[in-house]
A and B are shown apart, each in its own frame.
Chain A
Amino acid sequence: MKLLLVEDDAETADYLRQGLAELGHSADHAATGVDGLTAALTSPYDAIILDRGLPQLDGLAVLRALRAQGVRTPVLLLSALGQLDDRVTGLEAGADDYLPKPFSFRELVARLEAIVRRGAAPEALADRLVVGALSLDRLARTASRNGRRIELLTKEYQLLEYLMRHAGQVVTRTMMMEAIWDYSFNPGTNVIDVHIGRLRTKIDADGEAPMLRTVRGAGYRLDAA
């Protein structure tokens, strides 16, 4: 992926570029809002990582200017303000996702991949989602693996749908918390792990290859097995 990183803290920027480079992504760096806006308007990028607090022109202003110019590049907004209101403001301004600082690098990458994928193939909201042997019927709200019907509770269904839409990508606990439970706070303990555990026993029956994998220190990933 070719990325644009607009971040005024040099150390954070270096660390992000290094990490992204190790994953095979190249990132251009702009330290001010004006530079960031110029770069975003002049070169094509797969995604933009945009800090909210920037000198000269703040992140929200850059984002609004970009969207006003019709630039649809996916934007991941970073901010030290993690409040629900800030999140809403950010998304309303045209961000595709919002990540409060401090974030883990894995969380950033997971969210970045999710928005780039969404940007590349705007969801046609197919009636049927298929990942390997697993298929989900969105009309009947049922799931099956190799023809074996999987009985799901409402939240389990939503969780599976979310994982299938992000198949092959790491999905973090926070992402699931926000997407399925709409909780903007950390509910503590291992709530998500327990839900995933239940879902896993239903998807991966005895003798079947495990599809729902734990990615240590990051979250979960659904693979085609």
Chain B
Amino acid sequence: MVSAPDRRRPFHSAALRGALWITLIALSATGAALTVQYLQTTRLLQARAQALVDDETASLIARYRYDGLAGVEAAIDRQAALPRLNEFFYLLAAPDGTPAAGNLLGWPVEVTAAGFHSFATEVVNTQGLPTRRWVDARAVLLGGNYRLLVGSFADERASLRARYLSALFWSLLVTGVLGLALGWWYSRRGLRFVDDVSDVGQRLLAGKLSERVPVSNRGDEYDRLATTINSCFAEIERLITSLRATTDGMAHDLKTPLTRIRARLELAELSGADVPAAAIAQSRHDLDSLLELIDGALGLARAEATATAGFAPVALDAVAREAIELYGPVVDEAGLALTADLAPAEVIGARSLLAQAVANLLDNAIKFTPAGGSVTVVTAMAAGQVMLTVRDSGPGIPAAEREAVLGRFHRLERDVAAPGSGIGLSLVAVAARVHGATLTLADAGPGLAVTLAFPTARNG
């Protein structure tokens, strides 16, 4: 056997891929959530800052309407002198740009037109050091080309932005690390199952047919898969075991008559005379039983491969009636009483295989029941099942052997001398399996009752 190349690499690439995907998903979610929150908050803060600036501007414009430029200058001086939480800055500039009033030294270059502006600019603080700060300002054109600028510092927004960036960095870092770690753990957990299954499969291929995939009690998808794989493995084990039993049994049953034939021929060769007529007749008989055995084994193999696609409705009672007609005289000859209770019973199946199963059951019953006994054939439809029972008053089969007799080439110790190949009941078992029927061997006290219970024809 060519061993499959070991494709397992020390690096678990599937687990890594899984971990990376999980990390990517976590990172995008975190980043998106933080950004949306940041944008919303900034918008709110900016709206509030603009409202404050607009409010202050509006009051100065009102002053201008009543008192003209002088009134505005006075108001600006008064306001600038007030220590306020919300620090405003003002500038009233003459048409040539000279400051007329306010706490700015010159008109900021960033403001080129009237309206609301939000920008960063160099601001000199009280210590005379310039710093770059965010500013919200409104410029208004007054009469005589005088310009008025009212603004406030947007330090809140600047610090929010800084915090956002740092939060984004740390969140992404933590999410990334956690995502990788948990993703790895999670992927390995799922893939451990895959590893387990491939290990078990390798061992099964190596010949340990009883190997099964562990099934947890969670009842999840993995367990369902494990159960399915296990039933496949069980079927493989059953097939191989039955194949072994078949070949062993067949080898034995083939070799016995072949050995006899060969012995006869060798004996004749030794004696130098022609092969005696008796030896020829015996050999032909042996050959016949060999052929019968091969036919039986082939028939069994064919029955195993019966395709359910060709199934059609079959009247089981009619099949039983035909078999009874065929075996009736044999039953009389054997000194048995045959009773039949054939109620209409329809199954979906292969007629020839069913006929053969029924014939085999009858044949067995007749063969193993001593004269004076009885054989009963019953067909019935009951409780969603179609039943066929063949009961005899023979010696029966010990409970411990009932399973074994369904195997190929198995004969009870006491029947070894009886004619037959030990295929009869195996064929019934195969027919049952092919038709999805259950086969039961029970004690008929005394005797054996074999029942085939088919699923009813009209269940779907």
Interface residue ranges, A against B (CB under 8 Å): 82-84, 102, 154-155, 181, 183-191, 194-195, 197-198, 217
Stretch of B55-63, B352-360, B377-385, B409-417 contacting A (4+ beta carbons < 8 Å): B352-360
CA distance A139 to B356 in the complex (A): 33
Across the A-B interface, the 3 shortest Cβ-Cβ residue pairs: A194-B329, A188-B363, A194-B330
Q: In the complex, are the beta carbons of B298 and A187 less than 8 A apart?
A: no
**Chain B, interface SS category:** helix
Which B residues lie within 8 Å of A155 (CB)?
325-326
B434, chain A: closest CB distance, angstroms: 15
Q: A191-B326, A217-B284 are in contact. Are A185 and B299 (CB under 8 A)?
A: yes
B250, chain A: closest CB distance, angstroms: 17
Which A residues lie within 8 Å of B356 (CB)?
183, 185
Q: In the complex, are the beta carbons of B298 and A191 less than 8 A apart?
A: no
A-facing residues in B338-376 (Cβ within 8 Å): 352, 355-356, 359-360, 363, 366-367
B295 within 8 A of partner (CB): yes
A102, chain B: closest CB distance, angstroms: 6
Which A residues lie within 8 Å of B322 (CB)?
181
CA distance A186 to B366 in the complex (A): 16
B419 within 8 A of partner (CB): yes
Q: A188-B360, A189-B419 are in contact. Are A183 and B284 (CB under 8 A)?
A: no
**Chain A, interface SS category:** loop
Which A residues lie within 8 Å of B6 (CB)?
none
- B contact residues, total (Cβ < 8 Å): 25
The 8 A CB mask of B398-424 against A (1 = contact, 0 = none) is: 000000000000000000000110001
Which B residues lie within 8 Å of A198 (CB)?
329
CA distance A187 to B334 in the complex (A): 16
A152, chain B: closest CB distance, angstroms: 13
B291 within 8 A of partner (CB): yes
B220 within 8 A of partner (CB): no
Q: In the complex, are the beta carbons of B330 and A190 less than 8 A apart?
A: yes
Question: What are 7 A-to-B residue pairs whose CB atoms are below 8 Å?
Answer: A183-B326, A185-B352, A186-B295, A187-B327, A188-B363, A194-B330, A217-B284
Q: In the complex, are the beta carbons of B329 and A189 less than 8 A apart?
A: no
Closest to B419 in A: A189
CA distance A166 to B356 in the complex (A): 28
B221 within 8 A of partner (CB): no
Name B330's contact: one of A82, A181, A191 (CB within 8 Å). A191
The 8 A CB mask of B296-327 against A (1 = contact, 0 = none) is: 00110010000000000000000000100111
B292 within 8 A of partner (CB): yes
B218, chain A: closest CB distance, angstroms: 48
Closest to A199 in B: B329
B333 within 8 A of partner (CB): yes
